[in-house]
Amino acid sequence: MGTVRIQRVAVLGAGVIGASWTALFLAAGREVEVFDPAPDSERTVREAVEKAWPILEGLGMTDGGNPDNLKFHCRAGTAVRDVQFVQESVPERLALKHALFREIEPVMPPEAVVASSASGLMVSEMQQGWENPARFLLGHPFNPPHLIPLVELLANERTEEGVLEYAEAFYRSVGKVTIRVRREVPAHVANRLQAALWKEAISLVENGVVSVEDADKAVWAGPGLRWAVMGPHMLFHLGAGPGGLQEFCNRYRDSFHRWWDDLGEVELTEGLAERLVSGVRQEGGERDVESLSRQRDGMIAAILRVTSASR
């Protein structure tokens, strides 16, 4: 595929993820066509963009962007008629996605690429909704997409040559950091990593080792600070002096085997979920979800200001 300048983007599905994508694309100077069947979607998206804009502005991400450069559609087919890139974020029900793909496929421009934000569905499953899935791939973000840089990309043998690179170039042009998922697995990559951590955090709570709040503290006040700047392999490479990761493996192999053997197995039962919910309510105190989200976004922005200058 050619190096087309992607100027007009469609966002299909304007929930939390779609609205966040919309804010990012607008900040990056794109024209955004939004589809969502909910009657109040235009209001909620405009409110989400309004809330996100000061943070994006503070990060220097709004040069050339216009928060009003968007148009709303009640049908997906009209939203995609004149776009070069489609970010699909409708609810993760396979039948719903298939119906959406059948609607947009006949009317999309031939050069347009469709990327799905899906976290729980497989590309091969979603491809079944297309007559020709050559221009379809996974473009899975991390929440909130307007702040967290990561996008996981996955194409396969049914994807047209050059589509992956086309999507990769577009995401990078709007400030994203991309990784290529080489083989299809449930939950892709980053969600599997955080699922593994959460599983052990839940096990530690369930077995009385630590409270919900202290399990959270153990992450944000400990390794979470390191993970904001480097991944686990590189950090362990730095963890044993000049010998690097080889020395780290030599030194700590037996310890890690003992720890792995002792990691917990959990089942997220209703009773256990209630215990976790009670714990986060205690941890959050008087703050509601909206105020906690504002705190999260402000702290992420502060981290990004520091780390982006060093990369």
Determine the residue type at 133. Answer: P
| Cβ proximity of 266 and 199 under 8 Å | yes
- pLDDT, average across residues 53-75: 95
Phi, psi (deg, nearest 5) at residue 101: -65, -40
Q: Is the dihedral of CA 63, 67, 73, 76 positive or negative?
A: positive
Residues 72 and 162 in one domain: yes
Residues 209 and 171 in one domain: no
Is 75 within the bounds of a domain?
Answer: yes
**Model confidence at 304: pLDDT above 80:** yes
Q: Which residues span the domain enclosing 303? A: 190-308
Q: What is the pLDDT of residue 254?
A: 97
Q: What is the pLDDT of residue 5?
A: 80
Rounded distance between C-alpha atoms, residue 213 and residue 66, angstroms? 40
Residues 27 and 165 in one domain: yes
Residues 158 and 215 in one domain: no
User: What percent of the chain stands above pLDDT 90?
Assistant: 95
Is 63 within the bounds of a domain?
Answer: yes
pLDDT digits (tens, 9 = 90+) for 89-145: 999 999 999 999 999 999 999 999 999 999 999 999 999 999 999 999 999 999 999
Is 3 within the bounds of a domain?
Answer: no
Residues 25 and 74 in one domain: yes
How many Cα neighbours within 13 Å face the side chain of 203? 11
Q: Give the domain-ending residue among 180, 207, 222.
A: 180
Q: Give the domain-ending residue among 153, 180, 207.
A: 180
pLDDT confidence bin for 3, thresholds 50/70/90: low
Averaged pLDDT of the chain: 95
Q: In 3-state terms, what secondary structure has residue 114?
A: strand
Residues 257 and 122 in one domain: no
CATH number for the domain harbouring residue 194: 1.10.1040.10
User: What percent of the chain stands above pLDDT 70?
Assistant: 99
Residues 42 and 130 in one domain: yes
Residues 239 and 195 in one domain: yes
Residues 95 and 231 in one domain: no
Residues 105 and 220 in one domain: no
- How is 68-110 classified by DSSP, letter by letter? T-EEEESSHHHHTTT-SEEEE---S-HHHHHHHHHHHTTTS-T
Q: Is the dihedral of CA 80, 27, 162, 138 positive or negative?
A: negative
pLDDT digits (tens, 9 = 90+) for 189-240: 999 999 999 999 999 999 999 999 999 999 999 999 999 999 999 999 999 9
Among 3-7, 242-246, 298-302, name the one with the lowest average pLDDT.
Answer: 3-7
**Model confidence at 308: pLDDT above 90:** no
Q: What is the pLDDT of residue 170?
A: 97
Domain count for the chain, please give it: 2
Q: Whole-prediction pTM value? A: 0.93
Is 122 within the bounds of a domain?
Answer: yes
Q: What is the pLDDT of residue 4?
A: 58
Contacts of 39 (CB under 8 A, 6+ apart): none
pLDDT confidence bin for 309, thresholds 50/70/90: confident
Is 45 within the bounds of a domain?
Answer: yes
Is 173 within the bounds of a domain?
Answer: yes
Residues 149 and 220 in one domain: no
Tokens of residue 179, six digits: 């990784």
- How is 18-62 classified by DSSP, letter by letter? HHHHHHHHHHTT-EEEEE--STTHHHHHHHHHHHHHHHHHHTT--
CATH number for the domain harbouring residue 126: 3.40.50.720
Rounded distance between C-alpha atoms, residue 145 and residue 140, angstroms? 9
Determine the residue type at 93. Answer: R
Q: Give the domain-ending residue among 128, 150, 180.
A: 180
Residues 162 and 259 in one domain: no
